[in-house]
Structure 1
Amino acid sequence: MDFAHVFEALSAQGPLVYFCYRPADGRVIYISPNYEHELGGHLGAVNEELADWLHDLHPDDRRFLAETMAHAATGGLVRGAPLRFLRPDGSLRWLCLTATRSTPPDDPTGPLVSGYLQDITRTQANRELSERYQAKKNSMLEILSHDLASPLILAEQLSEYIAERVETLRDEHLDRMIADMRTACRDGVTLIRDFVDQEFLESASLELQLVRLDLAERLRIVVDNYQHRQHVAGHRFHYETSHPSIYAKVDESKFLQVVNNLLGNALKFTPDGGLVTVTLHQHPAHLLLTVADTGIGIPAALQSCLFERFTRARRPGLRGEKTTGLGMSIIKTLVELHHGRIWFESAEGQGTTFYIQLPLAEPA
């Protein structure tokens, strides 16, 4: 097969580096001329340079690449698999791999894997910056909704106390002022919570974009956002993981919003000074994420319907925070769209622990 004729015509169309690779002896039998311009290599030395590329491959991506190429060699389609390479200065270079088998299954010479590589370093940097901002924004919305609502709820409670104390004065003007204060506080809390809920509902309605993600690192960032505000929020936060890096295929924005929603619920139902703990453990075939609090717990009578839409299990928070009754239903839907499952354990007065089990990342 004349790979050079086919791939040279294709490579002229854009910044893609086409290749044909023979797994039997680990050699590249064709690389398009774009290899020199796009990846900085030398056409005549591609097989010598292949060892350098593999040496610079991020340690966490080595098994992923091996599984991905094995998948392609058996006829599977690998589409847009991201690979990280370590530069001498410690920065990352991202290449995107698309490949599949290019010879018949019964070819006596063995399989050939053909496809293309594309440098996506700049695109990936922009995406990561956007996702980090999105994760921080969602965390801060939950934290600020708690911080801003708490004094308004306190003012509403004080206005009710004052109203009782001045009732004997029978001052209509004073009664009206106190009623206006109570209404303004209640409306302010509703406005804050509606805004956060609407952000969650709108995000959840978008189509999932699954990517291979180091979930341990991303969750560390989310919990850090809460830890930096714990002196204001009145709660303590703790995070632990079984491995420094744990990979899963998730929609980063949506899944981290699930975590933020669970953390927001923990804030609502945990008294000041309570502890919220997030853990992530890797098992042979899955990972297990837990969000545990030392709050008031969920009454046994409400536990069976917690994940229902507009559930009767919805309750105002300890500080009067409102709820739509949709949050847990959407969380369950998003977890299941990630091929996972969610459940919880709770007892009144002893706190609540939510468990999310997800499959580990597989080849693209």
Structure 2
Amino acid sequence: MPFPSTFAEHFLHQMPFVFFVYDVPTQHVAYVNLAYERILGGHCDQVNEELPALLARVHPDDYEHAVDCWQRWRAGRLQESFELHLLTPDGADQWLSVTPHQLAEAATGQQVGGLVQDITTTKVALWHSDKYNSKKNTTLEILSHDLAGPLALLQQMSDYFHDAAAPLQNPELMHMIEQMRVLCRDSVNLIRDFVDHEFLDSVNVELKCERIDLVEKVRLIMEEYQASAAALDKHFVFTPEVALLYVEIDQNKFMQAIGNLLSNSLKFTPDGGTITLRIAHKPGVAIVTVADTGVGIPAAVQAGLFEKFTRARRPGLRGERSTGLGMSIIKAIVELHQGRIYFHSQEGEGTVFTVELPLPDESAAAPLPK
């Protein structure tokens, strides 16, 4: 296609990302710059012959996503950039960011243009960062439980010592026991404050949503808990009803909310109990449930559970302190994702929390292999 100057053409060829123009009626690429050869390994003069093979490289998980984006792009309803997962000819993963454009001279929508950037390095770095951030949050929860438990037990013992030693009327002994009580109490609170601080900060940060496989991300959290099941004296069960389920979420925030639900179950489930996390879906909705066989929530305080500084706040079975803010923040995070959270609880039997998230229009769940 013609350009206004050789300078413009030279500029386009030096761009670090692919620029292309596609003619819809003839279904062929009218122009592509040299970045196509660097980023996608093709040949500019053979781009139309290579196009079917290039489209075949779209990862199976992203095929419906790609079709949906293309249909909205052609109809002029796609303004934002989107990501695509490809497989290179040697089987490696490649991630592209595609920025759609409607060309001004193609008022009837007969031509579309776009920019394609290789973001593989960034995606891999973010994947590792998110993976270890999730692992860090889960590890903090597990460690806080492991550390707070013995200290809470020592605090209870010191209460017993205090009462038993009172008749002795020994001021020095009573002072030492009181120091033990204060030290244990402050240490337990310090551990919980350290973990809670990270969670409390998360709701104040702007959402950065991305398309992720919810099953994979939740599985990573549950694997950490399952690896520590013996030390925590709990059974952790993960039951996804689908092999993969793509959602648009802020991964760090949403995984922190799920992690906090698991932490609450951990605090209120006696030793030997079971905590189960399920993932399912129905038309247009992803469903995550966290169920436990714990002590349940008293009926009298259930109505205000999601309120700030709720009356439902209470120490855990090992004396873990509650700020009364955790459930309100979980609810806020879920609602920021246009979702909803609700629960069912019976004292002495346990609690089930259910989180529902809207699915992107093109999202499809893959069945579990048989």
Q: TM-score w.r.t. structure 1 length?
A: 0.94
Counterpart CA distance in 1 for 2:186 and 2:4 is 69
Deviations 1:17-47 (A, max 9, x none): 0111234454222211211123221001112
Aligned to 2:53: 52
Please say if residues 335 and 356 of structure 1, whose CA atoms lie closer than 8 Å, have aligned partners that are also in contact.
yes
Q: AA paired with 1:66?
A: V
Deviations 1:89-137 (A, max 9, x none): 5431111111133367873xx5322111011110111111111111111
Q: AA paired with 2:293?
A: T
Please say if residues 13 and 33 of structure 2, whose CA atoms lie closer than 8 Å, have aligned partners that are also in contact.
no
**Identical positions, percent:** 46
Counterpart CA distance in 1 for 2:339 and 2:349 is 26
Point out 4+ residue stretches in structure 1 off by more than 4 angstroms: 1-7, 103-106
Aligned to 1:291: 290
Aligned to 2:228: 229
Is the alpha carbon distance of 1:4 and 1:44 closer, same or farther for their aligned partners in structure 2, counting shifts above 3 Å?
A: farther
Structure 1 range deviating more: 67-76 or 18-27:
18-27
Please say if residues 295 and 352 of structure 1, whose CA atoms lie closer than 8 Å, have aligned partners that are also in contact.
yes
Q: AA paired with 1:281?
A: A
Counterpart CA distance in 1 for 2:345 and 2:227 is 27
1:309 aligns with 2:287: no
Q: AA paired with 2:51?
A: L
Q: AA paired with 1:339?
A: Q
Is the alpha carbon distance of 1:303 and 1:7 closer, same or farther for their aligned partners in structure 2, counting shifts above 3 Å?
A: farther
RMSD: 2.1
Q: AA paired with 2:262?
A: L
For residue 8 of structure 1, report the CA deviation from its aligned partner: 3.7
Please say if residues 71 and 363 of structure 1, whose CA atoms lie closer than 8 Å, have aligned partners that are also in contact.
no
Structure 1 range deviating more: 22-31 or 182-191:
22-31
Aligned to 2:254: 255
Q: Secondary structure at the match of 2:243?
A: coil
Aligned to 2:148: 149
Deviations 1:153-205 (A, max 9, x none): 01111111122222222221111111111110000000000011111111221
Q: AA paired with 1:50?
A: L
Aligned to 1:340: 339
Counterpart CA distance in 2 for 1:70 and 1:91 is 27
Q: TM-score w.r.t. structure 2 length?
A: 0.92
Counterpart CA distance in 2 for 1:4 and 1:262 is 60
Counterpart CA distance in 1 for 2:106 and 2:334 is 37
Is the alpha carbon distance of 1:117 and 1:3 closer, same or farther for their aligned partners in structure 2, counting shifts above 3 Å?
A: farther
Aligned to 1:16: 17
Aligned to 2:28: 27
Q: Secondary structure at the match of 1:166?
A: helix
Counterpart CA distance in 2 for 1:3 and 1:241 is 54
Gap regions ≥5 residues in structure 2: 364-370
Aligned to 2:77: 76
Aligned length: 362
Is the alpha carbon distance of 1:8 and 1:304 closer, same or farther for their aligned partners in structure 2, counting shifts above 3 Å?
A: farther
